């Protein structure tokens, strides 16, 4: 006779961690009494009731859905047992062989049908009248694997997928700001004490070109050096003497056009035009008509924005995934729909102690100068490697925070838990650096139920080992005494 009636329901409860399946209790209320398998088989009485939509909800008593539909009654003939199914009655020889094989196997102990940590060396019933389930030799291997019947695998929805090699890539999203390229900023300052005769018609924000006059400067030191150079020219000096006089003008940073004009006209100008050292925007103007300028005073600051930096702050935990050369997509918040692409040029060596973030730098070409300093951007950093690595779906990994494991599907309903070492994550997959081989099948769904079954089996085995008779100290001492004599 098939033992599926109460054994199947009990296995449902055991796998679903206790007396609940998906939050629905299978424990009957005080007025409900279980139906024996024999009575159910003879009279066609339902052995339990299942949700009409096929959801994994079960009940020992009739129930209705919130919409008023009756739960489906499951008679003994329609039950898919969680234990190994009986052979068809029509195949008498096959059935006889199965019974003979089971009779030859030795029962080690009986376990509680409700999945409780309770075992018995002899057959017994629990408080609800359910038979304890026999555990045969060979069903509790020491390798920690667990064997499930086809019915149990079907009901738990266990699925497996082979371990394959694939690229594991992910996206790190972080905010950032546009900043000036420090290498493209220059200042206009004098190397001597002088006076600003006049300032050109340029203001902060104007774009200037290299060689464009910014101001006119008068200085006694500059006029003296020009007079000395002019005297050397008029005296017909050559060689080191002439070169030395010219070098004095060059040391005062006199613009080359002003020196050439002196050589051409042989006249000393009252003021000399001071030129822009590069192309760019004027970001600071301190020069004023008639002012006295000391050596080193910043009169203008010019920045070239045709190349800008984007500084991005990423979380400390993501720092290990980012490397120089990684592709970055920049989306400025002030420019709807526009995106820019660059690469990580530098990872700064220090972390921000207050925010626990690391800063990375991306260099972007900005020929149209639409990216402005201090502009907010959203960055997407591509991490990972294009080379394929061993990877499994994220759902296949059982992670308790200290240990990580997967369940290997060894076929024929046997599953083996195995510890693994994890690598990169991305795209719904996790890299496995150690623990599995390519082609091995890992469980990707319902693995927590199989893991619970494995842990339950290990716990029951521990109880069975604890209940096993131990050799008495008296007999052992007597044996040792006899050997010594």
How many Cβ atoms from other residues are within 10 Å of residue 414's Cβ? 14
Task: Count the alpha carbons within 13 Å of 269 in the hemisphere toward its beta carbon.
Answer: 18
- Structure-token pair, residue 248: 């004095």
- Report the distance separating Cα 362 and Cα 19, nearest Å: 57
Instruction: Identify the structural domains of the chain with CATH numbers, from first to last.
Output: 4-142 (no CATH), 159-168+388-445 (2.40.420.20), 172-181+305-384 (2.40.30.170), 191-297 (2.40.50.100)
Q: What is the DSSP letter of 481?
A: H
For Cα atoms 207, 187, 189, give the angle at the middle one, nearest 5 degrees.
Answer: 120
Whole-angstrom CA distances from 431 to 166, 169, 399 are: 9, 10, 14
Which residue carries 């921000």 as its tokens?
352
Mind listing the pLDDT tens digit of every residue in the chain (485 residues)? 334 333 444 433 333 333 333 333 344 443 444 444 444 444 457 777 888 887 777 787 888 888 888 888 877 655 544 444 444 444 445 555 554 555 566 887 787 776 666 778 888 888 888 888 887 766 555 555 677 667 777 777 778 888 989 888 888 999 999 999 999 999 999 999 999 999 999 999 999 999 999 999 999 999 999 999 999 998 888 888 899 999 999 999 999 999 999 999 999 998 999 999 999 999 999 999 999 999 999 999 999 999 999 999 999 988 888 989 999 999 999 998 899 999 999 999 999 999 999 999 999 999 999 999 999 999 999 887 778 888 888 888 888 778 888 888 887 777 788 888 888 888 888 888 888 888 888 888 876 666 666 665 555 555 555 555 554 444 444 444 444 44
Backbone angles phi, psi at 449, to 5 degrees: -70, -40
What is the C-alpha separation between 420 and 212, in angstroms, rounded?
A: 67
Residue 149, helix vs strand vs coil = coil
Task: Yes or no: say if 19 and 13 are a contact pair by the CB < 8 Å rule.
Answer: yes
- Picking from 357, 420, 354, the residue whose alpha carbon sits closest to that of residue 391 is 420
Its sign, for the CA torsion 415, 419, 423, 424, is positive
Distances 290 to 216, 271, 475 between C-alpha atoms, Å = 10, 12, 116
Longest CA–CA span in the chain (Å) reads 135
Cα 174 from chain centre: 14
3-state SS assignment for residue 58: strand
200, 213 contact by CB (below 8 A)? yes
Centroid of chain to Cα 33:
51
Q: How many CB atoms lie within 10 A of CB 438?
A: 10
- Beta bridge partners of residue 171, listed in sequence order: 382
Q: According to the model, what pLDDT value does residue 186 have?
A: 96
- 170 touches 427 (CB < 8 A): yes
Q: 3-state SS string over 416-469?
A: EEEECEEEEEECCEEEEEECCCCCCEEEEECHHHHHHHHHHHHHHHHHHHHHCC
Among 18, 84, 21, smallest CA distance to 48 is for 21
DSSP string covering 10-42 = HHHHHHTSSSEETTEE----TT--PPPHHHHHH
Give the sign of the dihedral formed by CA 440, CA 444, CA 445, CA 449. positive
- The token duo for 467 is 């209940």
Q: Which residues contact 467 (CB under 8 A, 6 or more apart)?
A: 109, 119, 121
Q: What is the pLDDT of residue 128?
A: 80
Structure tokens at 73: 């009654």
């Amino acid at each position: 006779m098939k033992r599926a009636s109460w054994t199947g329901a009990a296995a449902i409860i055991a796998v679903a961690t206790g007396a609940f399946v998906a939050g629905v209790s299978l424990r009957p209320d005080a007025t409900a009494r279980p139906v024996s398998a024999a009575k159910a088989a003879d009279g066609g009485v339902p052995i339990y009731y299942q949700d009409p939509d096929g959801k994994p909800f079960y009940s020992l008593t009739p129930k209705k859905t919130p919409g008023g539909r009756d739960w489906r009654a499951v008679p003994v003939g329609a039950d898919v047992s969680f234990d190994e199914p009986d052979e068809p009655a029509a195949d008498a020889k096959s059935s006889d062989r199965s019974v003979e094989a089971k009779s030859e196997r030795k029962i080690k102990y009986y376990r509680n049908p409700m999945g409780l940590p309770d075992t018995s060396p002899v057959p017994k019933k629990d408080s609800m009248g359910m038979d304890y389930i026999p555990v045969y030799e060979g069903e509790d291997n020491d390798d920690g694997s667990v064997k499930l019947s086809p019915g149990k695998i079907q009901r738990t929805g266990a699925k497996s997928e082979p371990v394959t090699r694939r690229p594991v890539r992910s996206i790190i999203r972080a905010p950032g700001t546009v900043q000036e390229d420090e290498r493209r900023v220059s200042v206009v300052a004098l190397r001597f004490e002088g006076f600003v005769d006049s300032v050109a018609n340029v203001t902060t924000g104007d774009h200037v070109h290299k060689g464009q006059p910014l101001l006119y400067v008068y200085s006694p030191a500059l006029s003296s050096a020009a007079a000395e150079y002019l005297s050397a020219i008029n005296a017909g000096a050559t060689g080191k003497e002439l070169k030395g006089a010219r070098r004095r003008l060059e040391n005062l940073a006199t613009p080359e056009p002003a020196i050439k004009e002196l050589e051409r006209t042989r006249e000393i100008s009252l003021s000399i035009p001071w030129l822009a050292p590069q192309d760019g925007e004027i970001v600071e103007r301190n020069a004023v008509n008639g002012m006295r300028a000391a050596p080193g005073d910043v009169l203008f600051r010019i920045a070239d924005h045709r190349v800008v930096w984007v500084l991005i702050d990423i979380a400390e935990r993501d720092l290990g995934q980012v490397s120089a050369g990684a592709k970055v997509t920049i989306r400025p918040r002030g420019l709807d729909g526009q995106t820019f692409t660059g690469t990580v040029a530098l990872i700064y060596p220090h972390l921000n102690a207050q925010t626990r973030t690391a800063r990375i730098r991306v260099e972007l070409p900005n020929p149209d100068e639409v990216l402005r300093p201090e502009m907010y951007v959203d960055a997407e950093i591509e991490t990972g490697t294009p080379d394929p690595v061993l990877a499994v779906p994220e759902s296949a990994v059982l992670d308790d925070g200290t240990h990580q494991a997967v369940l290997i599907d060894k076929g024929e309903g046997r599953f083996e838990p195995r510890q693994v070492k994890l690598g990169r994550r991305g795209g719904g997959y996790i890299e496995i650096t150690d623990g599995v081989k390519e082609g091995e099948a890992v469980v990707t769904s319902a693995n927590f139920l199989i893991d619970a079954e494995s842990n339950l089996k290990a716990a029951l085995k521990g109880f069975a080992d604890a209940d096993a008779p131990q050799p008495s100290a008296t007999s052992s001492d007597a044996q040792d005494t006899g050997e010594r004599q």
